[in-house]
């Protein structure tokens, strides 16, 4: 249902979480809707604010300093890892869905209001750090040293993507675990 699941992180002051677009694609670009957004809630006051928009279906989030890395299901192709910078002076960060995506509609039909342009930057949106085409059924994302570790439900693999890699990283190094991986924990004892 494109609801986002497991996409929540917190620090001492805030809770950050994602809400999918629930198949209401255009809501992801509507600033008055909570669908297709990441939201920041102050733990003490309960006040909340929009952090980013233009998301389809974020599955995992990982926070390092003032950055959140999110894993997001694309449509047919285009699973993304995005970097969301937490900085009040930036205003709303827009990641482009459903105007831009490296995937395509499942039925292959072009939609004027949901064109899924390959480029994000050409249309004023933030490019993903990297993406997977074809889709891997992306689920969680973490970072260790020089690598992002990305889990997959469809491909049943853990992918290791160098921090410097950009674009389509479908052929990155991986470990085939032969099981759907929804999320994972990094045990600091073994790092």
What does residue 154 show for φ and ψ, rounded to 5 degrees?
Answer: -75, -50
- Mean pLDDT, to the nearest integer, of 71-77? 94
Angle in degrees, CA 78, 14, 84, rounded to 5: 25
Could you tell me what percent of the chain has a pLDDT over 70? 94
The answer on pLDDT for 188 being more than 80 is no
- Percentage of the chain surpassing pLDDT 90? 80
pTM of the model: 0.91
Per-residue pLDDT, 94: 96
Measured from the Cβ of residue 128, the count of other Cβ atoms closer than 10 Å reads 25
Average pLDDT over the chain, rounded to whole? Answer: 91
Across residues 130-151, what is the average pLDDT? 95
pLDDT of residue 107: 94
pLDDT of residue 187: 81
Does residue 2 have a pLDDT over 60? no
**Does the pLDDT of residue 88 top 70, yes or no?**
no
Is residue 19 within 8 Å of residue 4, measured between CB atoms? yes
């Amino acid at each position: 249902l494109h609801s986002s699941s497991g996409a929540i992180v917190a620090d001492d002051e805030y809770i950050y979480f994602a809400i999918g677009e629930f198949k209401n694609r255009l809501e992801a670009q509507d600033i008055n809707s909570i669908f297709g957004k990441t939201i920041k809630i102050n733990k003490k006051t309960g006040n909340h604010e929009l952090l980013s928009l233009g998301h389809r279906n974020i599955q995992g989030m990982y926070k390092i300093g003032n950055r959140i890395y999110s894993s997001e299901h694309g449509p047919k192709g285009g699973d993304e890892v995005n970097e969301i910078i937490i900085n009040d002076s930036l205003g709303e960060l827009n990641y482009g869905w459903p105007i831009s995506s490296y995937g395509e509609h499942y039925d292959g039909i072009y939609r004027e209001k949901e064109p899924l342009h390959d480029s994000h930057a050409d249309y004023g949106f933030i490019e993903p750090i990297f993406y997977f085409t074809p889709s891997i059924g992306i689920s969680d994302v973490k970072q260790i040293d020089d690598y992002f570790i990305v889990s997959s439900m469809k491909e049943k693999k853990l992918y290791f993507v160098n921090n410097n890699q950009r674009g389509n990283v479908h052929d990155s190094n991986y470990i085939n675990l032969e099981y759907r991986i929804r999320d994972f924990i990094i045990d600091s004892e073994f790092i």
